[in-house]
Structure 1
Amino acid sequence: MTIRNLARLFEPRSVALIGASDRPHSIGAVVARNLLRSGFNGPIMPVNPRHTAVESVLCYPDVAHLPVVPDLAVIATPAKGVPALIEELGARGCRAAIVLSADFGRGTEEGAQLRQAMLDAAKPYLLRVVGPNCLGVAVPGIGLNATFSHITPLTGDVACLTQSGAIATTLIDWATSRGIGFSHMVSLGDMADVDVGDMLDYLARDCQVRAILAYVEGVTEARKFMSAARSAARTKPVIILKAGRYRASAQAAASHTGALAGADAVYDAAFRRAGMLRVSSLDEMFSALETLSHGRRISGDRLTILTNGGGVGVLATDALIDAGGSLAELSPDTLAALDQILPRTWSRGNPVDILGDADGPRYAAALDILLADPQTDACLVLNCPQAVTTTLEAAEAVIATLARHGSRAQAKVIVNWLGEGAARKARARFATAGLPSYETPERAVTGFMHLREFRRNQRLLVRVPPAIPADFSPALQAARGIVAGAAAGGPNGTGHEWLDEADSKALLAAYGIPVATVRRVPDADRVADAAREIGRPVAVKIMSPDIVHKSDMGGVALDLATPDAAAAAAQAMLARIRAAKPDIRIDGFAVQEMVTRPDAIELIVGLASDPTFGPVLLFGRGGTAVEVIGDKALALAPLDMMLARDLIQSTRVARRLAGFRNVPAANVDAIALSLVKLSQMASDLPELVEIDINPLLADAHGIMALDARIRLGRRAPFAILPYPSQLERRIALADGTPLLIRPVKPEDAPAFERSFERMRPEDIQHRFFAAMKALPAQLLARLTQIDYDREMAFVAVPPPEAGQGDDGYGVVRIAADPDNERAEFAVTVRSDWQGRGLGRALMDLIIDYSRTRGLNEVWGAILRDNTGMIDLVRRVGFTVQAHPEDPSLVTATLPIAANR
């Protein structure tokens, strides 16, 4: 389930409180008071057999005696009776419940059985459950406060989701004291049913919600969470605080990659990939709430600081630089204008220090000039209390100045009035005026950085990734053979957990990752022959399923110039390891050419399997001290070239790869492509659990994998569905023209633009319901960067062997609702390809796909004058009716289930 019946939860017409009480300080009494005193416009029905009235409202003995079926039931009774109550409520027609009860025995078998019984009771009725063990739900805009919070939250347009009731009450208390309200306050508790993903889906579609704040302790269904988070973050800021950042799980990992890919680092990668803004503390969340509640948006990254105290200006600058921000460089005209109105001793730069005796008029004059500065994207105004000026006067001057300039200027200003005495009244005035006001320079800078990061995320969404080289075609059959051979080998045919050195290199080579020449020999006596065959200096490595890090065991010998030296090193290595661990299994030796690339940088690239988010790619500085250096970054698979480059740039070693002193820049594209190839390997070979390439040498000539370890096993599925190559198919049109129809890729954006240029204006109008001369970047990204788990788009292109490029001739797509019940379709055939049967072929394909996907209905809106499309959909079985709201449209629907 996802958003089904959540409207009953957040827009109920009637509420029943089961377990209502008049016993002071009981949960039933507090919830009753909050429900009945918050202005809800609908019946609120207390239920308790021991009371005739609660809060002077008639109390009913049980659910059966309720005069109307409640849209929402709030349950504050002992846990053991909850499943029966859910069954009774569902049978009467109730479709949403909030279970406040906390005695479900979390972590115990009895508690698990009780929760499952509750879910089993709810399932036949599609009754949605929030909780158990939660604070409740408040929707201040409709007067609904079904919580046992100590105060009622104010009305606002920021939604808050939290797995902790304590965090919820803290946020409500903090926000209320500052006049900040919420659109929704949702305490999810144990998330037996409704979870964070469901809520993100619901709130993403609510146009009254301007931003979302979330506190989470864990994610259960990663794919649903990522789809919902990506959808929400495309339209509004989503700030997330994840608790439980430190775990010992990385200690148990065997390879370097596994040890470096800690659980919290994976969450960080997931949030970043979804476009969410992560905060690390409650203090930072307060700053985010202050910023978001005032709806600020900025047009750039450059901040100007206006202050009456040099010290606090420096503190703000330090905080900005530490956070990765940048100061604006004031234009010469701005500096000249400030010279005219400020004392001679002003700072003449950014921060703009207007000195400690600055009064209201000086603040106003300086702010007037800075608001007109073309280099300033946002302005932070600071004030320290001074004996010679009035703090409140300065605040009033700032407010009046912004009022003169209008809403656009006000949207780029944030303020910090320091102190707790004189500044308190000023902060109250700022709150009344709708200005975000912070208590310290650091908090103010944090607020600005949240705006900057949201803007950055929105820009990232419309970038077009570079194409993967056309000649990348992995030897998939050979790769599967290597994996199958390892799975069938091992002691008693139970399979090897780790591929040996030679098989690991062969698997990488199958995906076009350059590897050093290696020979596998069964014993030390054959080492000399292998070295002689290679014909140059070699390295000798032990091969054992019991050794993960060979160097730690003395299992690597380098720079062996002659075959005899290689043989001697192998004998000594074997004796040393046998003496240390007599029972260790030895499979032989890997004899590898010594690679001499003096300018190369040692890197690590790898794949790890996270139990929640599935395959994760790792990149960083490599070598034997990789864990000590700790320079690494993670990204969720799958990757494209753009995401791979971002991963590389988020490490310190990226600066070295750009070149230094007399060392030329490394081939970063080759490194990025190796990460994309590992991502593809994870998609093609679900048996891969860990890949550890360390070192991967990188220089101007490209890359080479010197050492690799690959582990097989079971892993969690992808949190983001990879490109579904199995859906590719070839067709021939009626005139015999061969076509490849495949899912759309992000790299298709340039081809989409070229196809758009070849469409007639009327065809563009029919597809997009508007006249367009070019595809806007944001729309182009939405058309090509799709979530394969929730939507699908197929493009018809020439087959690769035709050598005609990848320009699309037609596209068909569906976008399903989060419940996978209904999907909206759209189809476009390039103007010069119409009339050849391609539109019918695409519609047949999407109907077949929708049936396989399990949808119940496909529908679409069509302009009434688009007679060709109306005729097409009728021919494939759609029913066409007048649109209920727009006379210029018709609605076409096809019940898929009936055609199964």
Structure 2
Amino acid sequence: MTIKNLEFVFRPKSVALIGASDRPSSIGAVLANNLYLGGFDGPIMPVNPSHRFVRGVWTYPDVANLPVTPDLAVIATPPDAVPGIIAELGARGTKAAVVITAGFGETAQTHGRELQQAMLDAARPHTLRIVGPNCLGVLIPGIGLNASFAHLNPLAGQLAFVTQSGAIVTSILDWAQSRGIGFSHLVSLGDMADVDFADLLDYLANERETRAILLYVEAITNARKFMSAARAAARMKPVIIVKAGRHAEGARAAASHTGALAGSDAVYDAAFRRAGMLRVYTLEELFDAAETLAMGCRPRGERLAILTNGGGVGVLAADAVIDEGARLAELAPETLANLDRVLPPTWSHGNPVDIVGDATGSRYADALEVLANDRDIDAILVLNCPTAVASSTDAAQAVIRTATAKPKLPLLTSWVGDGSAAEVRHLFARHRIPSYDTPEQAVRAFMHLVNYRRNQETLMETPPSVPEEFTTDTARAQRVIRQALGESRDWLTEPEAKEVLAAYGVPIVSTEWARTPGEAASVAARIGGTVVLKIVSPDISHKSDVGGVARDLDGPAAVQEMAVTMQERVRWARPEARLTGFSVQPMVRRPQAFELIIGVTEDPQFGPTILFGQGGTAVEVLKDQALALPPLNMRLAHEVMSRTRIHSLLQGYRDLPPANLEAIALTLIKVAQLVIDIPELMELDINPLLADQYGVIALDARMRVGEATGPAGQRLAIRPYPKELEEEIPLGDGRTLLLRPIRPEDEPSLQATFSKLTPEEVRLRFFISMKTLSHVAAVRFTQIDYDREMGLILTESGIPGKTEIYGVANIIADTENERAEYAIIVRHDMTAMGLGIFLMKRIIDYARQRGIREIFGDVLQENRQMRKLCGILGFREAAVADEPGMIRVTLNLEPGAV
């Protein structure tokens, strides 16, 4: 389930409290008190066989005796009673329950887990949704619903807060109360037996009353479901997340560099970044970010001006700006001249704008007015230190007057100190101006806004096409892996690992295997020139640690001598290790190359992750790496590269030319494709991957494999490009087109196709006149979640984004995957070739295969061609209420439907 019946949790018309009580300080009494005092406009029905009245209200002995069927039940009974109560409620028609009771799956006891399963089994036949168990409850201030045992009633507002921890809810209520900040929803999810973060993200993304979503996360239960919901929600409104448990003890030991470097929190960070959410690291930051968003501050960019009456706090703020990665705004000459006119000669004449300790309210207002008119300033931070010669309150009131006159001015404040400063912060809160205890807090809050803006720009950025086409030989890679698994080996030899990489177009150094020192000498003679010799052992992860790598060996004799020496070294250093042979490869000399690492490891929650960073033998000491979730495109590949320190070096410095960044990014894409195609791949190190101006080459590789538990794509947190839907389509004129799913890189081609449509085609398809397809609209069609929607295009073979598109058909499914809306368009120069009906049949086949029960679309009544096509395919027509001239066509896809 996803958002099905969640409206009964968040917009109920009636509530039953099962386990209501008058016993002081009991959970049942607190729940009853909160429900009755919250202002809910609907019947609240207490249920308890031991009470005749609760808070003076007639109490019912059981669910069967309730006078009406409650939309929502709040349950605070002993755990053993809960499954039976859920079954009774479901039979009566109740569609949602909040289970406050603990003692289920959160315990280590088998009985608790069995009770939780029994509860879910009782709910399932009735599609009754359950929040909890083991939760604080649900608060919806806008309708006066306080179905919780929280100690305060929150104000109504536009922030939604969702958490696994009930204690966090009570903390944020305290914080919000003092600042006058309200909420649209406060939800404690508890054990998430049914309703989870993904469900709430899907629901709240479409809630008009919710402007931003705050999450406190301890663990994610279904990574793919979460990523789909998070990516969709983050495109619609800010999603801010704090993740607890960043430094979990006892992380698993890993045999590869990648496994050792890719901690679980780093994977969570990569996932949050990929979804476009804003991650913060403390509750204080979460509160600050929430306050900043609640006040509606939206800077244009990352250039900050600082206005202060104290030089010291101004310098502290400027340092924080640099430390956080923002920029101090460069004041325009006109701004400097205007400030000279309104400020005393001793002002700082730069940014921070220090207006001196005796600054009055009018001086603040004059300076703020000048800064507000500078287009090179994206936001202004106003600071104040208390002095005996000027009133801090007067300064605040001057700032408020200026902000009121300029409501779109991105403004943050920090009045330092307690006493009058605390009163001023309340004054700012009443006027919806974000205010912080310290300058550093204010700068950090500004960076929350900057990072959110960057995330949104990244989400909407069109990825460039790959610089070159590459082919994959999946069968060749699988043969190598199956042979190793058939021999009960989970680590491939270096030559085997390189063969798998070569099958995916990764440039490698040709490597041969030798069983003995003599065979190694023969291989070296065949290769010629200087070579590199390495041991091959299934028990030794890092060969150089035991002296198992030798470079610049010249001639067979030197190779044989070194091989014998290596055997002795291994026997001494690792007597238990098996030495199965040696690998021999030509010595590669690329003196200006950088040593990089590209790796793969499998996270228990999010599946395979890709690692990129600085490589070499000191990789685990340097720890310069970043993670990304597959699949990747060129934009995502460059983004993960940009999050490492070595990225700035790769762009060239002094007399060292820049490395070929496109070749590195393409290698990341190839490795991601390997992960997508090969379910047996568990772990991979390419280290070092040499990169210079000429390209890349893998000098060494390690690969761990294991038996697959299902298709490779199923283990990914983000559904990859469904290559299985590709199909070559011969046309009657001798040409062949390619039917395939749309990709984000196709945006330029889609816009080019739109430009070739006639005005009438545009009106019939989009119901309005448009001369161009905007970037935002094109992104909506091309950057799709293959788990929730599908777009099929008719194009030519070649690099996406560089081939023409002749037709498009797409469907968007609801969150329950029951109904989907379709759309289709074929270029007029390609009509009368049967492409329209072909595209429709393929998108219908796809919807049926996905288990979608019905597809529908809205068609203008005058669009006879589309209506005729739908009639041939069995669609039924009906008028659309309140939309004259519009027809809704519907096709039932259920088995046996006529």
TM-score band (shorter)?
over 0.9
Structure 1 residue 132, shift from structure 2 partner: 0.6
Give CA deviations for 1:704-750 in whole Å, capped at 9, x if unaligned. Answer: 11110011025770000111101111223566653211000111111
1:647 matches 2:637: no
CA RMSD of aligned residues (A): 1.6
Structure 1 residue 591, shift from structure 2 partner: 0.6
Structure 1 residue 554, shift from structure 2 partner: 2.0
SS in 2 for 1:356: coil
1:736, 1:142 → 2: CA distance? 65
Taking a change above 3 Å as real, the CA distance of residues 518 and 162 of structure 1, as seen in their structure-2 partners, is same
What does residue 228 of structure 2 align with? 227
Structure 1 residue 286, shift from structure 2 partner: 1.0
1:251, 1:114 → 2: CA distance? 31
1:842, 1:663 → 2: CA distance? 52
SS in 1 for 2:130: strand
1:291, 1:800 → 2: CA distance? 47
1:524 matches 2:517: yes
What does residue 755 of structure 1 align with? 753
What does residue 451 of structure 2 align with? 453
What does residue 121 of structure 2 align with? 120
1:779 matches 2:774: no
Give CA deviations for 1:848-875 in whole Å, capped at 9, x if unaligned. Answer: 1000000011111223332322222222
Structure 1 residue 517, shift from structure 2 partner: 2.1
What does residue 488 of structure 1 align with? 486
Structure 1 residue 470, shift from structure 2 partner: 4.2
What does residue 337 of structure 1 align with? 338
1:828 matches 2:825: yes
1:382, 1:893 → 2: CA distance? 61
Question: 249-258 or 228-237, which moves further after superposition?
Answer: 249-258
Question: 104-113 or 131-140, which moves further after superposition?
Answer: 104-113
Give CA deviations for 1:179-200 in whole Å, capped at 9, x if unaligned. Answer: 0000000000010110001100
Aligned partners of 1:863 and 1:890 also within 8 Å: yes
What does residue 5 of structure 1 align with? 5
1:873 matches 2:870: yes
What does residue 892 of structure 2 align with? 895
2:654, 2:829 → 1: CA distance? 55
Where in structure 2 are the equivalents of 1:128-527 lying within 5 Å?
128-248=129-249, 250-405=251-406, 407-409=407-409, 412-489=410-487, 495-527=488-520
Q: Residue 727 of structure 1: which of 725, 728, 736 is its match?
A: 725
AA partner of residue 817 (structure 2): N
What does residue 102 of structure 1 align with? 102
Give CA deviations for 1:643-701 in whole Å, capped at 9, x if unaligned. Answer: 00111111000111111111111111111111000000001111101110111111111
Question: 234-243 or 461-470, which moves further after superposition?
Answer: 461-470
SS in 2 for 1:498: coil
Aligned partners of 2:517 and 2:559 also within 8 Å: no
Structure 1 residue 587, shift from structure 2 partner: 2.0
Structure 1 residue 336, shift from structure 2 partner: 0.4
AA partner of residue 295 (structure 2): H
Structure 1 residue 342, shift from structure 2 partner: 0.3
Where in structure 2 are the equivalents of 1:460-859 lying within 5 Å?
460-489=458-487, 495-713=488-706, 714=708, 717-733=715-731, 737-799=735-797, 806-859=803-856
Give CA deviations for 1:456-498 in whole Å, capped at 9, x if unaligned. Answer: 1121122111112443011222112112222212xxxxx2101
AA partner of residue 704 (structure 2): R
Structure 1 residue 542, shift from structure 2 partner: 1.0
Aligned partners of 2:469 and 2:798 also within 8 Å: no
1:861 matches 2:854: no
Aligned partners of 1:307 and 1:352 also within 8 Å: yes
Give CA deviations for 1:758-813 in whole Å, capped at 9, x if unaligned. Answer: 11112122222322222211111111111011110000013459x99621100000
SS in 1 for 2:805: coil
Aligned partners of 2:465 and 2:802 also within 8 Å: no
What does residue 32 of structure 2 align with? 32
AA partner of residue 309 (structure 2): N
TM-score by length of 1: 0.97
AA partner of residue 601 (structure 1): F
AA partner of residue 139 (structure 2): A
Aligned partners of 2:747 and 2:801 also within 8 Å: no
Aligned partners of 1:462 and 1:780 also within 8 Å: no
Question: 135-144 or 470-479, which moves further after superposition?
Answer: 470-479
AA partner of residue 738 (structure 2): L
What does residue 492 of structure 1 align with? none
2:197, 2:797 → 1: CA distance? 43
AA partner of residue 700 (structure 1): Q
Question: 726-735 or 108-117, which moves further after superposition?
Answer: 726-735
Aligned partners of 2:467 and 2:662 also within 8 Å: no
TM-score by length of 2: 0.97
Where in structure 2 are the equivalents of 1:53-92 lying within 5 Å?
53-92=53-92
Aligned partners of 2:610 and 2:672 also within 8 Å: yes
2:602, 2:869 → 1: CA distance? 46
1:799, 1:591 → 2: CA distance? 40
1:470, 1:573 → 2: CA distance? 42
1:369, 1:796 → 2: CA distance? 56
Aligned partners of 1:798 and 1:805 also within 8 Å: no
Q: Which runs of 5+ in 1 are unaligned?
A: 490-494
AA partner of residue 397 (structure 1): A
2:374, 2:296 → 1: CA distance? 22
2:469, 2:150 → 1: CA distance? 61
AA partner of residue 316 (structure 2): L
1:679, 1:244 → 2: CA distance? 28
Aligned partners of 2:305 and 2:352 also within 8 Å: yes
AA partner of residue 694 (structure 1): N
SS in 2 for 1:887: coil
2:766, 2:535 → 1: CA distance? 63
Question: 15-24 or 547-556, which moves further after superposition?
Answer: 547-556
SS in 2 for 1:592: strand
Question: 179-188 or 537-546, which moves further after superposition?
Answer: 537-546
2:183, 2:844 → 1: CA distance? 42
Question: 765-774 or 136-145, which moves further after superposition?
Answer: 765-774
Structure 1 residue 564, shift from structure 2 partner: 0.6
Structure 1 residue 249, shift from structure 2 partner: 5.2
Question: 754-763 or 97-106, which moves further after superposition?
Answer: 97-106
Structure 1 residue 550, shift from structure 2 partner: 1.0
Taking a change above 3 Å as real, the CA distance of residues 203 and 670 of structure 1, as seen in their structure-2 partners, is same
2:306, 2:645 → 1: CA distance? 29
1:442, 1:369 → 2: CA distance? 24
Question: 640-649 or 308-317, which moves further after superposition?
Answer: 308-317
Taking a change above 3 Å as real, the CA distance of residues 605 and 799 of structure 1, as seen in their structure-2 partners, is closer
% identical aligned pairs: 55
Aligned partners of 1:249 and 1:263 also within 8 Å: no
Give aligned pairs, total.
Answer: 891
Aligned partners of 1:733 and 1:838 also within 8 Å: no
1:313, 1:866 → 2: CA distance? 65
Aligned partners of 2:227 and 2:271 also within 8 Å: yes
Aligned partners of 1:519 and 1:592 also within 8 Å: yes
2:83, 2:325 → 1: CA distance? 51
